[in-house]
Chain A
Amino acid sequence: NAGVTQTPKFQVLKTGQSMTLQCAQDMNHEYMSWYRQDPGMGLRLIHYSVGAGITDQGEVPNGYNVSRSTTEDFPLRLLSAAPSQTSVYFCASSAGVAEAFFGQGTRLTVV
């Protein structure tokens, strides 16, 4: 079972560049979310989706965009990368409020 798959695993960006972090799940889960993990801050919610075509902002949405055109995919776009966006990004999915499953993460460095 693939579960939640994130690509890439590592990425280095220059300030001002844009990129898309990919997330795909094969469990037919309607809920998908993006979190960032920073030392001492824990995991914080960036954006989430409760189904195809429906997205909303989480705790720290500034500088990020999302879309949900299919149940399986939930890409996260960095519009103009900043050093403050250096972090580890995790995608998660769940069947409603049931058990959440996480991807292996994308480690992003913005220089």
Chain B
Amino acid sequence: KQEVTQIPAALSVPEGENLVLNCSFTDSAIYNLQWFRQDPGKGLTSLLLIQSSQREQTSGRLNASLDKSSGRSTLYIAASQPGDSATYLCAVRRHGGATNKLIFGTGTLLAVQP
């Protein structure tokens, strides 16, 4: 059974710091991995999608990496800003069977202090 873990559950950093959020998964048979951002009381906003054949994806100050063999992904945020404060979720889409199913981690709550 695929399980997705995000550590730490919460993180507080000063503005301007570079930071890394971690996501690990137990089954390497995945189609892709997607990172989301969720603001309090809001929906999920897609940040980056990495296909299983890719090593990394970049969007602005965000860089996501994927090491499928070790079951790990990281989301790197450069020069953090208070507006980056949110919960960050990763989700994997399994390969085979119900491929429409996204399996989520429980998220990392990020607070960027001004």
Q: A: which residues have CB within 8 A of B?
A: 31, 33, 40-43, 45, 48, 50, 56, 58, 90, 92, 94, 96-105, 107
Contacts and interface: CB of A to CB of B under 8 A. Distances in A.
A99 B49 contact: yes
Given A40-B106, A97-B93, A102 B100 contact: no
Interface residues of B, number: 23
Q: Is the interface of B mostly helix, strand, loop or mixed?
A: strand
User: Which residue of A31, A40, A90, A94 has the most chain B CB atoms within 10 A of its CB atom?
Assistant: A94
Contacts of A100: 34, 46, 91, 93, 102
A41 B42 contact: no
Interface of B: 31-32, 34, 36, 41-46, 49, 89, 91, 93, 98-102, 104-107
Q: Is the interface of A mostly helix, strand, loop or mixed?
A: strand
A97 B100 contact: yes
Contacts of B106: 40-42
A105 B31 contact: no
Nearest to B43: A104
Contacts of A107: 41
A94 B99 CA distance: 11
Contacts of B49: 98-99
A101 B46 contact: yes
